Amino acid sequence: MADLQKARTDATVGWGESPVSTARLSMELWAAIKDEDWSLASPTSTVSYWPQRLWTMEKPYHFIGDGGGMGIGYCASASAGAALANRKHGRLTVSIQCDGDLLMTNGVLWTAAHHKIPILWVMHNNRGYHQELMHVQRMANRHMRGLDRAHIGTTLREPFIDYAKIAQGMGVAGIGPITDPKDLAPALKRAIAIVKGGEPCLIDVVTQGR
């Protein structure tokens, strides 16, 4: 109970800020799905494990696990596969989808649209390959080279990527980009209605790094 209370307190840091904190993203999603028969089909390390720290997970399919070898582009494809398996059970499949990961296998959006796989992708769009960015920052600091160039090759800017438009181009309902956390709840409500109607949907949420 003490750990849960600490996690709840920690989650309030940056609650109303833009870009959206990963704690706010996770808790808004939880509030939207907790009364459904849901399944989280994405790894959670990139959002600081907030779902495990704050959600109530009581059934085996509530979380399918992390990616093992953590292959490039794993999340988008694995979550679509989980959603396909969940479809016959009428479960609501959700995935917190990293932006860099989706770029590696964005054709899965077309596959979900084509086969009418009901899944909600909620983008963790921190506008970069953040795992790599953090590593370059660590190495630059270790070798006293400064951090001013750590963004080169590790961030996705100039221009920013609009994942809602990518989804729409693949035949998937796309919502966003969302930068104000107050817009998350209504967007999730709209998206869940689409998914429960048997179609895939993606919400592009501009987020903090982790």
pLDDT of residue 4: 79
- 120 pLDDT exceeds 90? yes
- 135 pLDDT exceeds 60? no
pLDDT of residue 41: 96
**All residues at 6 or more sequence positions from 167 whose CB lies less than 8 Å from its CB, including other chains:** 109, 121, 173, 174, 201, 202, 204
- What band does 99 get if pLDDT is binned at 50, 70 and 90? confident
Radius of gyration of the chain measured on its C-alpha atoms: 17
pLDDT top residue among 59 and 143: 59
Cβ atoms 93, 151 nearer than 8 A? no
Mean per-residue pLDDT of the chain: 89
Contacts 24+ apart (CB under 8 A), 81-87: 82/39, 82/41, 83/39, 83/41, 83/112, 83/117, 83/118, 83/119, 83/200, 84/115, 84/117, 86/39, 86/41, 86/61, 87/117, 87/118
Question: Residue 115 corresponds to which tokens in the numbers above?
Answer: 């086969």
Q: Give the mean model confidence (pLDDT) for residues 124-142.
A: 68
pLDDT of residue 184: 97
Nearest to 108 by CA among 86, 81, 85: 81
pLDDT of residue 147: 74
Using the CB atoms, write b or e for 80-116: b if 16+ within 10 Å: bbbbbbbbeeebbbbbbbbbbbbbbbbebbebbbeee
Q: Give the mean model confidence (pLDDT) for residues 176-184.
A: 96
Q: Which amino acid is at 81?
A: G
Bond before 19 cis per omega within 30 degrees:
yes
pLDDT top residue among 73 and 114: 114
Dump pLDDT digits (tens) for 18-55: 999 999 999 999 999 999 999 999 999 888 899 999 99
- What band does 150 get if pLDDT is binned at 50, 70 and 90? low
pLDDT of residue 205: 97
- 202 pLDDT exceeds 60? yes
